[in-house]
Every structure is written in C-alpha cells, then in structure tokens.
Amino acid sequence: MSRFLRVFLPLAAILFCTLSVHAQTPAASGEAAAPLHLTPDEAVNMAIRNNLHLEMARINLDIHRRRSTFSWNHWLPTVGVTGTAIRANWPATHQGFEIDPAGIPPIVPFSVTLPQWNLVGALNAELVFSFALIEGMRVIRREYEAGLMTFARARLQMEQGVRKMYNGILLLQANVELIEESYLNAQRQADMAEASFLAGLVPRLTWLQAQVAVENMRPAVNDLRNTLQNLTGSFALLLGLPHDTPLALQPITLGTTFIPQDTAALISQAAAGKPDILELRANIAALHSQRQALRLQNYTPFIRFGWTATSMFNPQLDPFEENLFNWDHWDRGGNFSLTVGLNFNTLLPFTREGQQLRDMDAALRIQNIALAQTIRETELEIFTMINSLERIRVSMEVQQATVYLAEEAFRLTEEAFRAGLQDFMAVQNAALALDQARLRVLTEQFNYLNYLIDLEYSLGIPFGTLSSE
C-alpha cells in the first residue's frame, strides 16, 4: 500500500497542477495586459537598447573599432605556401654520355625519356614598406574617431526624437482629455436644455441645437483618440516593443521658467559642440589623413622584402613511382630579394593615379563648404530658437490671464443660461473659447519644452540641462 501511495501521490499532484494551469489559461488570456509605466529617461534607454537603426550604427562602429585595434597588421608579411603538379604536354628526353671504363669505346652515349609529371613546392614571404603605410594607420584611427562621432550623433538624435515624441503623446493625451471634457460639458448642456425645454423656459430649437452640438463633437473625439492610438503604436515600435503594447507615460512638469540666454555665446557654443558639426570635422580630419596617405603613396618609393624557398622533385624520376619522402629526390632552392621602386604614373597629373589626388582635393573642398554651411545654418537655428523661446515666455503671461478670464466667462454664461438670461449659443461659444485658451496654453508649454530639447542638442549638452529646469 505504501508503495502505491509513493507512486500515485506525485502523479496526482502533477495532474492537478496541469489541470489548474489549463483551467486558468482562458481567463488569463482574456485579461488586458498591464500598461508599461515609463519615464522619459526609461523610454530613452529602452530605445537606445532596442532600436534597430541604432543597432546598425553600433555594428558599423564595431567595424571601425576592430580595424583601428588591428591596424598594426599592415606590417605583417604576406606568407603563402603553394604546391604545384606539372605535366608536360609531350614527353622529353635527356641525352648524354656516360663513362664505361671496361667498355670500348669508354664513353657511351645514352638517351632517357623523362617522366611527364613533376612536383614543385614553394614557401613565399613578402613585406612591403612605404611611408603611406604609416599614414594609413593614422587614417584608420581617424576613421574610427569619425565613426564615434557618427554613432554619438545617431544616439543623440534618437534621444532627441524619443523625448519629443514622448512630449507629443502627452500633449495629445491632454488634447483628448480636453475634448472629452468639452464633450461631457456639451452633453451636460444638452441635458440642461432638455430640462429647460420641458419646463417651458426655452424653445424646442434650443434643445435641438444642443443635441446637434453633442453629435457633432463625437467624430472629433473618436478621431483624436485614433490619432493618439496610432502615435502610441509608433512610439512603441521606436522603443523596440510590439505596436499594441499599452503604455502609461509619467507626466512631466510644464512651465516657462526664464533661462538667461546670451545668443552670441550660445551660437559660439553650438559651433563647437553640435554633434552634426563635430561629425563633419571628424570626417574632414579623416579625409585630410587619406589625402596625405595618397600623396605619400604617389610621390615616395616603396621597398619590398621577399623571401622564397622552393623545392622541385627530381625531373628524371617519376613522382608516382618513387618515394616522395626521400629528401634526396628533391632539388631545393630559394632566394631573398630587396626591391626598391617608384610608380612613374603617379608623377603625371593626367594619369588615373595622378587624378586621384585632385579628386581628393575636390572632396576636401566640398566637405569644408558643407561645414561652413552647417555652421551658418546652426547660427540661424540658434537665433530662431532663442527668439521663439522668448516669444513663448512673453505670450504665456497673457495666455494664462486669458484662460482665467475664459473660465470666469464660461461660469457666468452658464449661470445666466440656467436663469434664462442667455441662449445656448452663448454657452457654447464660451465653452469653445475656454477650450481654445486652455489648448493654446498647453501647446505653448510643450513647444517651449521641445525648443529647449532642440537647443540642448544643438549646444551639445546633456538632455535635461535646460529642459529639466
């Protein structure tokens, strides 16, 4: 009996657990997934970790890092081993004379047919030295530094996009809340109009106008919700998540606190720290180094060190019949060579090699023009952002007062409508004015924050340095 219990009880426990899991699976699958709570910094870290575009930039940087780490391998000699089996198209004969002391005459001619197959083995080592190789190592290092700048710019642009998209979702959520509140107010006003109509205080037209206003708002509410859902799905994909992942974004503190800004100083700082400008400077430095390497390759001689060891099977023996491992059957040779050379084509400007240097000079001029153009665009960008920030800061003082006045006007108009002193259109207009004032304030606050994020990117300072104040 005890043996039966020892076998039966574990099996019963496993069966019970399996049935319990299968019984709970449908209920669990029907439940909505818990939303993923995110802060701006957490969203940025997730995007940097999971975004595929940034992963491609990271792989490209790894390629440059590996090339820079092993740039010394240019000084390794080229070593190779070859083995060749040779078959003559026609059999050859070897003729000669051999001495026979006992023969008459003592010198006897002979003729031997040589084997058509023969074997040759060789070990070759070659090392080429030129001053261009030294500069080539510097080129690889400069390209790696340019790759670092490119990856840093891609990472900062990713962070900039994530933070602004995060703010865009919060702004859209606030818009949805405002329009839903307006919809509820319109529904409440329609109920008030219906009650007033039934009490004989307003005509039936007022009640119908209130109902029409409610129905007209319903498509706008649905469209805004759909836009918010699409933007949230795009944001989830940007973070490397499934598009239908529910997200709960932590609200951020909004405001327009005055930040002292010296336009000239900010322009100078942006010209020295903007990621786009730093990347262009790194590319120009790498291009300068490439031009120097090409110039050294064209106008300086090279030295080639070569060493060769060869071994040929005795051509008078058949390699398929004799012992290949008998070293006496192999004829050994080899040499060491030292070659100094200079390509004359590179000295002529109209040759293909001579034109490469001119093409490199033209590419450098193009990059320098692009750098100057980017610096000018950055100056205008900083000037525009500073003016926009100042405009928002000044206008916010007026708009805050406008919201307060709109709230008071709506409250008084609604009270007058209840007392029969105002018609429904007046209430509707007051509600619309209040919603527009609130939306303008909210939009300007998010615009101010996004301008600060753009300014942080242009200045090359960490995000949050200005926008977190």
Rounded to 5 degrees, φ, ψ at 38 are -135, 145
Helix, strand, or coil here: 155? helix
Residue 10's pLDDT is 41
Indicate the pairing of strand 330-341 with strand 107-113.
unpaired
CB 444 within 8 Å of CB 174: no
pLDDT, tens only, 343-359? 777 777 777 777 888 88
Q: How far is CA 307 from CA 41, 126, 127, 312, 344, in A?
A: 61, 6, 9, 17, 26
Choice among 67-81, 175-189, 214-228, 254-268 with the minimum mean pLDDT = 254-268
CB 370 within 8 Å of CB 395: no
Distance between terminal CA atoms of the chain?
76
Residue 280 — pLDDT band, cuts 50, 70, 90? very high
The domain limits of the chain are 35-76+131-301+346-459, 81-129+302-341
pLDDT, tens only, 294-315? 888 888 888 889 989 888 877 7
Q: What is the mean pLDDT of residues 402-425?
A: 80
Residue 155 has pLDDT above 70, yes or no: yes
Task: Give the C-alpha separation, 63 to 438, whole Å.
Answer: 52
Choice among 5-19, 206-220, 266-280, 437-451 with the minimum mean pLDDT = 5-19
Residue 6's pLDDT is 43
Residue 277's pLDDT is 92
Query: Which two three-digit tokens encode residue 163?
Result: 């933070």
Task: Name the helix (H) or strand (E) containing 194.
Answer: helix 131-198
Task: Give the C-alpha separation, 461 to 259, whole Å.
Answer: 15
Helices (H), 199-274: 204-238, 263-273
Residue 283's pLDDT is 92
CB 214 within 8 Å of CB 187: yes
Q: Which residues contact 132 (CB under 8 A, 6 or more apart)?
A: 293, 294, 296, 297, 300
Residue 50 — pLDDT band, cuts 50, 70, 90? confident
Indicate the pairing of strand 247-249 with strand 36-38.
parallel
Residue 97's pLDDT is 63
CB 266 within 8 Å of CB 353: no
Summary mean pLDDT of the chain: 81
Q: Residue 414 is which amino acid?
A: E
Residue 17 — pLDDT band, cuts 50, 70, 90? very low
| 35-76+131-301+346-459 under CATH 1.20.1600.10, yes or no | yes
